[in-house]
Structure 1
Amino acid sequence: MNRHRGIAAILSVLYMGLGQLYNRQFVKGLFLMAVNAAALFYFIPNLGKAIWGVVTLGTKTQGFEIVNKVTVRVEGDHSIYLLISGLITLFVFAIYLVIYIMNIRDAYRTGALRDKGEQPADFKKSWAHLTGRNFPYLMLAIPAIGVLFLTIMPIIFMVMLAFTNYASPNHIPPKALVDWVGFETFANLLTLKTWSRTFFSVFTWTIIWAVIATATTYFGGILVALLVESKGVRFKKLWRTIFILPYAIPQLISLLVMRNLFNGQFGPINQYLSYFGLGKLPWLTDPIWAKVTVIIVNMWVGIPVSMVLIMGILTAIPKDMYEAADVDGATGFQKFKIITLPFILFSTGPVLIMQFAGNINNFNVIFLLTNGDPVNGKYQFAGSTDLLVTWLYKLTLNNSQFNMSSAIGIIIFLIVASLSIWSYRRSKAYKEEDMIQ
């Protein structure tokens, strides 16, 4: 009774496409057989080498040999190229396995139809089914493959680097090989005094920065939005336009202009202070003042974003709630506390969490305004205003500490993901999803 489905499945296991040929789907079967042949042609010489490269990261270093009294350079294994090419081959092999499994399932299902006495779909019906009902899956497969190779694979590559000794000056290929070292990089980051002092100091400042930057821009945006939308304020459109200008100007330009304005020697701000006899302040050269400066500048570029968001929420609050509060004799502060603020917090809870996560990784403000400076002699490749993300940038591009930067990248991800999930699950937007329904 189940003869066709069993034979078709077994044939598909033996060689891709044979089950389809058995089910008399000749075009599909020949196409799958061609795909399988191409895959075998690629994987037979490359799959073993890919696994060897990922496992060993190479065994032969670059060197020189004397051949016929002539010094000849002998190429060695490049550990990073072996790791990248190995990952690509393994990812392609994973896609091949998925197609192989789908081929077996297809042959089994078609064989089941034959067991029931039904005719298998011919090429025209299969094509119509593929371009009709399954067309969305066909189109989604293309960006999915792009995400697999352009997003997921680089992330896995970065994670794997954290478990190697890929760092300058002793382990940079092809001069030297890179080795797997397990959790040694994380141990060095957290226990070696030169690294741990920098990590915990930069981590502490990153959290302080994220909290202050998020709170000041968020509540500053609420304050400005409430002032602009107040009943007694005239020319509301003009005020909205003025306060949205910092957001409309590209952040790169704003931050570079601010860097010049706060210049300790020639900046206009210090010149005005000197003109009024207040002296010059070390805005960007003193560790404390530099941190104050980046917070002030971040308020300048961040408050307009929150202001626009809050204005949209204020217009959505039912007016009859304020009218009822007026009847009960509520003051302006009581109406804000009981009506306005709860609506704002409920609507912007997830956004607030996103802003906090974004401020942990707020690369632009720190890098363009201070470049992480002023220099701190106690830190390892970091300045006094560096965040974890800017420190990671310096370790990667300026100092070739790739394994350490990868470990920091993993820690940043764990921090952001954990705080975001924990905060969101505790927010009213998560607990009271039916509130506005």
Structure 2
Amino acid sequence: MRSHQRTASILSVIIMGLGQLYNRQFVKGILLLCVEIMGGYYFVMRLPHAVWGLVTLGEVPTHLVKIGKRYKNVVGDHSVNLLIGGLVILILFALFVIVYVMNVRDAYRTGKQRDEGIAPSSFRASMSYVADRRFPQLLLTLPAISVLFLTIMPILMAVLLAFTNYSAPEHIPPAKLVDWVGFQTFIDLLSLKTWSHTFYGVFVWTVIWAVIATVTTYFGGLLVALLIDQKGIRFKGLWRSLFIIPYAIPQLISLLVMRNLFNGQFGPINQYLSYFGLGKVPWLTDPTWAKVTVILVNMWVGIPVSMVLILGVLTAIPKDMYEAAEVDGATAFQKLRVITLPFVFFATTPILITQFAGNINNFNVIFLLTNGDPVNGDYQYAGSTDLLVTWLYKLTLNNNKYNFASAIGIIIFVIVASLSIWSYRRSRSFKEEDMIQ
């Protein structure tokens, strides 16, 4: 009784499109058969070499061969190109397999319909169905493919580099080959003294920075929002506009201006201090003062963001709750503690977690204000104010230590993802999602 269903499925497994041809869907079957022929030919030619490249990362580097009195450049294998090419081929092969599975499922469903006495749909009817019922999925296909090749593939590339010895000067293609080393990069980063001292120092400062930067900007924004929201405050629109200006100005401009303002020799701030006999403060040249400076500047840039978010929450709190509290004789502090703060914390906890994760990777403030300086002689390619993300940047762009940079990137991801998921699952926003409906 299930002969069409079984036969169509088996034929589509053997060769893509045969099941559709058996089900008398000739246009669809021919198209899938063409995909099978082109894809099969392409992967037969490319897939073995791609797998070989991923496994070996090349065997012969580019080198010079002496021919008589001259030297000839012999082009060899390029490990990074083999790695990238292998990833692309494997992703394309995965997409081909997905299409193959969809082909089998389509033949199975159509064969089942034939067994139930339902005529197979024509190619035009199938296209009408896709355009009508599957139109959102159709539109999302191109963005999904773009994300696959422009986001996921580079991430996979960065992850794989952490398990190689791709770094200068010993292993830079094409003159040198890159090899797989497993977890050796992570072991060196965490245990080798020249690297571990820098990693632990930068890691501790990254955590301290993220905590202080998040707390100061959040509670600073909360304080400003509460002050503006008070009943006796006039010209609230003006106050909101004034405090939002630091956020409205592009961060690049703000930070470069701040860098000039805090210049130790010629900055206006030190000139004003010298007028009062206070001397010059090494804002950006002393390690401790540089860290204080980046925190202060981050408050200037970050408080307006928290202020705007919290003002939105304050306007959503029901006014009758305050009126009921006043009838019960509650003081202003009690209303703040019992009504305002719980609502604000409940609504902004996910945003607070996002800000904490963002501050761990806050590249702009550190790089544009101090460039990670002042220089720390005990650190490997890092300064006193460098975060893990800015240290990663220097290792990649300035020193070609790609394997260590990739390992640091993986560690950053693990830290941020773990802390974010853990803290969010412990928050009331997660436990009491239906509290405010």
TM-score (norm 1): 0.99
Matches within 5 A, 1:72-111: 72-111=72-111
Which deviates more from structure 2 when the two are superposed, residues 132-141 or residues 338-347? 132-141
The offset of 1:69, in angstroms, is: 4.3
Counterpart position of 1:252: 252
Counterpart position of 2:127: 127
The offset of 1:316, in angstroms, is: 1.2
The offset of 1:10, in angstroms, is: 1.4
The offset of 1:11, in angstroms, is: 1.2
1:120 and 1:211 map into 2 onto residues whose CA distance is: 62
Counterpart position of 2:268: 268
2:321 and 2:420 map into 1 onto residues whose CA distance is: 32
Counterpart position of 1:354: 354
2:181 and 2:401 map into 1 onto residues whose CA distance is: 15
Counterpart position of 1:190: 190
AA aligned opposite 1:174: P
Counterpart position of 2:70: 70
- State the Cα deviation string for residues 377-418 of structure 1 (Å, max 9, x = none): 000000000000000000000000000000000000000000
Counterpart position of 2:339: 339
2:320 and 2:7 map into 1 onto residues whose CA distance is: 72
Counterpart position of 2:55: 55
AA aligned opposite 1:106: D
The residue matched to 2:61 in structure 1 has which SS? Answer: coil
The offset of 1:331, in angstroms, is: 2.1
2:222 and 2:23 map into 1 onto residues whose CA distance is: 67
The residue matched to 2:133 in structure 1 has which SS? Answer: coil
AA aligned opposite 1:193: K
Matches within 5 A, 1:23-422: 23-422=23-422
The offset of 1:238, in angstroms, is: 1.3
AA aligned opposite 2:425: R
The offset of 1:89, in angstroms, is: 0.4
The residue matched to 1:118 in structure 2 has which SS? Answer: coil
The residue matched to 1:132 in structure 2 has which SS? Answer: helix
The offset of 1:231, in angstroms, is: 1.8
1:165 and 1:394 map into 2 onto residues whose CA distance is: 17
1:317 and 1:9 map into 2 onto residues whose CA distance is: 59
- State the Cα deviation string for residues 158-186 of structure 1 (Å, max 9, x = none): 00000000000000000100000000000
AA aligned opposite 2:361: N
1:168 and 1:335 map into 2 onto residues whose CA distance is: 61
1:332 and 1:399 map into 2 onto residues whose CA distance is: 57
1:435 and 1:109 map into 2 onto residues whose CA distance is: 44
2:128 and 2:234 map into 1 onto residues whose CA distance is: 63
- State the Cα deviation string for residues 99-128 of structure 1 (Å, max 9, x = none): 011111111111111122221111221121
1:90 and 1:7 map into 2 onto residues whose CA distance is: 30
Counterpart position of 1:20: 20
The offset of 1:68, in angstroms, is: 4.9
1:314 and 1:126 map into 2 onto residues whose CA distance is: 52
- State the Cα deviation string for residues 191-241 of structure 1 (Å, max 9, x = none): 001110100110000000000000000000011111112122222111111
1:369 and 1:238 map into 2 onto residues whose CA distance is: 29
- State the Cα deviation string for residues 123-158 of structure 1 (Å, max 9, x = none): 221121121112222221111111111111111110
Which deviates more from structure 2 when the two are superposed, residues 148-157 or residues 256-265? 148-157
Gaps of at least 5 residues in structure 1 are none
The offset of 1:41, in angstroms, is: 2.1
Which deviates more from structure 2 when the two are superposed, residues 361-370 or residues 126-135? 126-135
Which deviates more from structure 2 when the two are superposed, residues 25-34 or residues 1-10? 1-10
Counterpart position of 1:431: 431
1:118 and 1:234 map into 2 onto residues whose CA distance is: 73
Moved over 6 A (4+): none
2:313 and 2:35 map into 1 onto residues whose CA distance is: 55
The offset of 1:286, in angstroms, is: 0.3
The residue matched to 2:76 in structure 1 has which SS? Answer: coil
Give me the identity figure in percent.
70
AA aligned opposite 1:317: I
AA aligned opposite 1:419: L
2:39 and 2:229 map into 1 onto residues whose CA distance is: 65
2:343 and 2:139 map into 1 onto residues whose CA distance is: 40
The residue matched to 1:71 in structure 2 has which SS? Answer: strand
Which deviates more from structure 2 when the two are superposed, residues 111-120 or residues 358-367? 111-120
2:86 and 2:77 map into 1 onto residues whose CA distance is: 13
| Alpha-carbon RMSD | 0.9
1:239 and 1:135 map into 2 onto residues whose CA distance is: 47
- State the Cα deviation string for residues 49-76 of structure 1 (Å, max 9, x = none): 0000000000001111123543211011
The residue matched to 2:71 in structure 1 has which SS? Answer: strand
1:94 and 1:46 map into 2 onto residues whose CA distance is: 14
Aligned length: 437
The offset of 1:328, in angstroms, is: 2.5
Which deviates more from structure 2 when the two are superposed, residues 102-111 or residues 320-329? 320-329
Which deviates more from structure 2 when the two are superposed, residues 58-67 or residues 351-360? 58-67
The residue matched to 1:263 in structure 2 has which SS? Answer: coil
The residue matched to 1:65 in structure 2 has which SS? Answer: strand
